[in-house]
Amino acid sequence: MIIKIPLIVLSLISMFSIGLQFSKDKKTILDKNLALFAIILNLILIPGIAYLLIQVFQLEDVYQIAILLCAISPGGTSGAIFIIKSKGDPFLGGILILGLNTIGSIFIPIIVSLSLNLNAEDSYLIILKLLSIGIGIQGLPLLFGVLVRNKLDINHSVWSHKLNQFANLLLLFCILSLSIENYRHLLEISWDVTLTILILTSIASNSGLLFYKLPMNLQSAISAVTGIRNLTIALVLAEFLWDDSAISLGIMIYGALMYIVAYLNSIFWRKKITV
């Protein structure tokens, strides 16, 4: 797919840029309750809402599987660019992306494997593949950004701004490419599938409002991270467990609509914080 390389580059740039902006507020960021609630939100609430919506609209099996795979896959790397676009807190956002991706890469394949009675070797291969991807396009560029910020005498704000401008263009290209690549299927999918995805992604992209007692930039970061699901985990699971192109296509359609909703919501959060 032509979208793969731009998405990888977008992830690398976004996580590096997050690293350049890393600054800690230990009081708020490292609060155990905040971390626990963010995990519950991403691993229980969002999948639960997805399951309820699927039951309400009685979707086709293929779309049920695709939407559920996206819903149970947290920590999408491109959430980093939406954290920046929506003026969310970079430190909280970066930590959540890394933490959720690590948890998702290990525990979700195990849970899915157990529920489908997969053998240990297949489960191990899925986990290894997901962890390798997570370290390569999330952990390392984030660490490199932090090191550059702390070790090199450069204006990290200027560099971060330039990277964000390029990332914005790349993000627009990714959204357009996903939409063009899947436009026929986007036009063909039934209204109930579209509505289910739009409702789910809208709830996820505004989920930070649940943390109304926190500063606005932390709410924005939580919303950005929760709104962007990890399509890599979803696609890898689909490939290993079903090897059905229709399910993979359903995931890409979810991704196209997810990015559009997340982009619009980032504008909402940016204005909310600016005001």
Token couple for 114: 């157990």
CA distance 48 to 263: 24
Which tens digits make up the pLDDT trace of 76-92? 777 878 888 888 888 88
Token couple for 209: 């409002």
What would be the CATH architecture of the domain defined by 4-274? Answer: Up-down Bundle (1.20)
Specify the amino acid at residue 139.
G
Segments of the chain with pLDDT less than 70: 1-4, 7, 18, 21-32, 105, 109-110, 112-120, 122-123, 126, 130, 133-134, 137-138, 156-157, 160-161, 164, 167-168, 171, 174-175, 178-179, 181-186, 240, 243, 274-275
Report CA 124 to chain centroid distance, whole Å. 23
The verdict on pTM exceeding 0.85 is no
Q: CA nearest 90: which of 76, 79, 103?
A: 79
Cβ proximity of 75 and 230 under 8 Å: yes
Which tens digits make up the pLDDT trace of 134-176? 677 667 887 888 788 777 777 766 776 677 677 667 767 766 7
For tokens 């952990």, name the residue.
139
Residues in Cβ contact with 6 at an 8 Å cutoff, skipping those fewer than 6 apart: 170, 173, 174, 177
CA distance 221 to 88: 4
Token couple for 148: 């550059």
CA distance 52 to 69: 14
